[in-house]
Amino acid sequence: MHELLSPAGDFLSLRQAVINGCDAVYIGGLKFGARKYAPNFSNEELKKAIKYCHLYNVKIYVTVNTAIYDNELQEALEYIGFLYENEVDALIMQDIGLIKLAREIYPDLEIHASTQLHNHNKEGLELLKELGIKRVVLARELSLDDIKNLDVDIEKEVFIHGALCVSYSGQCLFSSVILNRSGNRGSCAGLCRLPYELYKEDEKVTTEGNYLLSPKELNTSFKLDELLKSDIKSFKIEGRMKSPTYVGFITKFYRKIIDNYQKYQKIIIDKEDVKKLFILYNREFTDGYLFNKDNTNIMNIKSPNHQGLVIGQVIEVTSKKIKIRLDEELNQGDGIRFIENNKGGIINFLYDEKDNLINSAKSKSIVYLDNKYNIRKKGKVLKTADVKLTELYENLVEKKIPISIKVTAKLGMPLKIKMQKGNVKIEKTSDIIKMAITSSSSAQSIEKQVTKLGNTPFICEKIEIVNDDNIFIPIKILNGLRREVASLLEEELSTKKSKKTKGQIKSYETNYPKRKITLSVLVKTEQQLKVAVSNNVDRIYTSDENLYRKYQNVENIYLKLPRVIKGNKKYQNENLLVGELGGIKRYPNNNIITDAYLNVLNHSMINYLLENKVKTITLSHELTKEDCKNIVRNYNNPPDLEVILYTRIELMIMKYCPISYSIKHNKTCNLCKNNNYYLKDRNNKKYPLITNNCLTTILNSEVTDKIDEMKDYLNMNITSFRLEFYNEDSNAVEKIISRCLKLKN
């Protein structure tokens, strides 16, 4: 069976998800979740949420899916222990170091690998399976064919609806570098939703819109049958920052599609539901990369905002009134927006053709609005909020759980009530039943009292009463026993009784051989490489395989592999700089150094990489010097850790190419081969675009230069350093290397 997995940012959204038919729900606590600005759940609310979901036989997953700094590991493990003791069904996690520790302490705790782990190839999945991961949330960039080729015995989960990131998840440092708000830490500022201009060299490229990094909203509903035929286990709705109405409606929308498909073997979607879908939230819709071969339907570069549904046309405008011909119903309290000036708001006053105030108007009606929006031209009208839909989902009615009841009322015996749901049953007794003196308690009167379950989550589906005639049971006794049994049944259903097994953290080597100071250089051009060779740097990295092969006789040259690897290329006995998890598994018989984009922020992940035969580990760009100190404190003498001192940080890596999309809408355009392109933001900062195999990397507008801090790192016993060059000429490269060599010596 396929699982429908819904989001919840607060308890009201959680109830909406459960009531409207999700199989599982995912939520976050107040810390360590990748949606820091959602309301989220306190520890007490988490306990309540877990019990509530289990009562309705709904699984509950908690996100612990941020990258974790070393000084947070203990607190994070205590939080995981709290969730474990309170019977959470699974954790969704990103940080490999924290996952490793959690697996050691709580070996029977189910863990799902967050999409933040950049889960995009078979080898990465194999490595996660070896780590004890039960399920992987796959990268949104994978097609259904890609997923079918991931023949690893591990549960697979995909997003089917909601917001899309333009960057591979877990690989975006844009917000972190520019605003110190890390997307890997749940604080993404959404810089991809801002306007940018595309430039070729110094010439501005004309584009259809300026929101060049803003994807549409994912909606797979019309093609869900293709996913239902696959081995994908879980269908995930994005939206922990969305409203309870959104969560409730989208959950119910997909529940109906899945249930109808299982019943009729075809996709059935109500047209009115589709309209509501557009009104609730859309940036225009796309079915994403799952089905999109040419990637031309992913972006809405004209607007990053909610688009709504076209409901009519402005046919006349005065300074006081706007006349509209409706194609859809419009109500007082609805939200609207006018295409003409992109302004709108909530309708407070709605008028008919006779200037009478009205509450509602049907399709094909003519209505008038006050021109407080400063509309001057005719144009389309959008509905962006539906008051009736919101009211419908605000009036929550809890699901009732059908149970069977048996009452035994025999003279001279204790009153007995048994309530049962499936294999779970609760049976309790009360006072000895006496003979009636005046009026007796009939089977009908007993049934009437025992089935009064209004304040409980239950409804009586079947009742059996075994009673003697001419007996009397006080109503107070009957009601009290009913309440006690119902309460105990609720507690029993909402509490799992799983066995718990605890382990302990493994001990690791903390004293590694002392090393000489090492200087590494990443080069893009042969001229840069020659300068590096002439300065006898210790390691040279290049992503240009032709350049790597040409200089392979240079013993210390390394090939930097792509951060997205899905091909079958093999390497044996090579020097490799690996930037994604799967490469560690794919290329075991090589000399491997891991790159900064593996997001290494703590010593536990370092130990994991060392276990997997990694020689040198590059620390994350997101670490401060104090963070590095915290890591090194775990070792008497640390392993070989590399810090990047000079670079243009890679802010994003994308499957989407703004160059080809804006100019040709053609993936194989080769426009990037002989020209330099960059994006310019509102502050006139320029972000170079680097393309390779139709993957696009956005570089920072500025160089990060920490060379003068080299001594500080040496003082904490970090001895490996890297310089990364982009378009620097030979003289600039020479000067920068010389600065380091002076400090090194």
Chain segment 192-237, per-residue pLDDT in tens: 999 999 999 999 999 999 999 999 999 999 999 999 999 999 999 9
Residue 479 lies in a domain: yes
Residue 526 lies in a domain: yes
Residue % of the chain over a pLDDT of 70: 99
pLDDT score recorded for residue 79: 97
Residue 363 lies in a domain: yes
pLDDT score recorded for residue 665: 57
Q: What is the per-residue pLDDT across 174-202, written as a single tens digit (0 to 9) for each?
A: 999 999 999 999 899 999 999 999 999 99
pTM of the entire predicted model: 0.95
Give the burial class of 508: count Cβ atoms within 10 A of its Cβ; 0-12 exposed, 13-18 middle, 19 or more buried.
middle
Classify the phi-psi angles of 14: left when phi > 0, otherwise alpha if psi is within -120 to 50, otherwise beta: alpha
Domain boundary among 476, 493, 510: 493
Q: In 10 A of CB 464, how many CB atoms? A: 11
CATH number where 376 lies: 2.40.30.10
Place 1 in a pLDDT band, splitting at 50, 70 and 90.
confident
Question: Cα–Cα distance between 275 and 253 in angstroms, integer?
Answer: 12
Give the count of domains, the chain: 4
Same domain, 448 and 325: no
Place 569 in a pLDDT band, splitting at 50, 70 and 90.
confident
Q: Please, what is the angle between helix 43-55 and helix 73-85, to 10°?
A: 30
Domain range spanning residue 361?
A: 309-394
Same domain, 561 and 611: yes
Give the distance from CA 581 to its chain's centroid: 19
- Can you tell me whether residue 402 is helix, strand or coil? strand
pLDDT score recorded for residue 570: 86
Question: Cα–Cα distance between 676 and 722 in angstroms, integer?
Answer: 25
What is the sign of the dihedral through the CA atoms of 171, 177, 178 and 182?
positive
Question: Cα–Cα distance between 148 and 152 in angstroms, integer?
Answer: 10
Question: Cα–Cα distance between 623 and 712 in angstroms, integer?
Answer: 14
Domain boundary among 263, 290, 317: 290
Between the two ends of the chain, the Cα-to-Cα distance in Å is: 64
Per-residue pLDDT, averaged over 162-167, amounts to 96
Residue 281 lies in a domain: yes
- Answer whether 311's CB lies under 8 Å from 384's CB: no
Same domain, 597 and 652: yes
Same domain, 594 and 710: yes
Question: Cα–Cα distance between 212 and 196 in angstroms, integer?
Answer: 6
Question: Cα–Cα distance between 11 and 24 in angstroms, integer?
Answer: 14
Same domain, 242 and 378: no
- Can you tell me whether residue 160 is helix, strand or coil? strand
Same domain, 61 and 142: yes
Same domain, 261 and 344: no
Same domain, 530 and 639: yes
Question: Cα–Cα distance between 628 and 634 in angstroms, integer?
Answer: 11
Residue 300 lies in a domain: no
Question: Cα–Cα distance between 177 and 140 in angstroms, integer?
Answer: 23
pLDDT score recorded for residue 566: 79
CATH number where 668 lies: 3.20.20.70
Residue that wins the pLDDT comparison between 395 and 238: 238
Same domain, 313 and 366: yes
Domain boundary among 368, 394, 420: 394
Same domain, 141 and 242: yes
472 sits in which H/E element: strand 471-472
Residue 86 tokens, joined:
């309170």
pLDDT score recorded for residue 35: 79
Q: In 10 A of CB 278, how many CB atoms? A: 21
Same domain, 442 and 572: no
The residue count for the chain:
745
Same domain, 683 and 548: yes
Question: Cα–Cα distance between 603 and 634 in angstroms, integer?
Answer: 7
Residue 589 lies in a domain: yes
Residue 193 lies in a domain: no
State the residue for tokens 């703590």: 602
Residue 190 lies in a domain: no
Q: Which of 641, 594, 650, 592 is CA-nearest to residue 621? A: 650
Residues in CB range of 549: below 8 A, 6 or more apart:
none
Question: Cα–Cα distance between 347 and 708 in angstroms, integer?
Answer: 59
Place 630 in a pLDDT band, splitting at 50, 70 and 90.
very high
State the residue for tokens 């060299």: 201
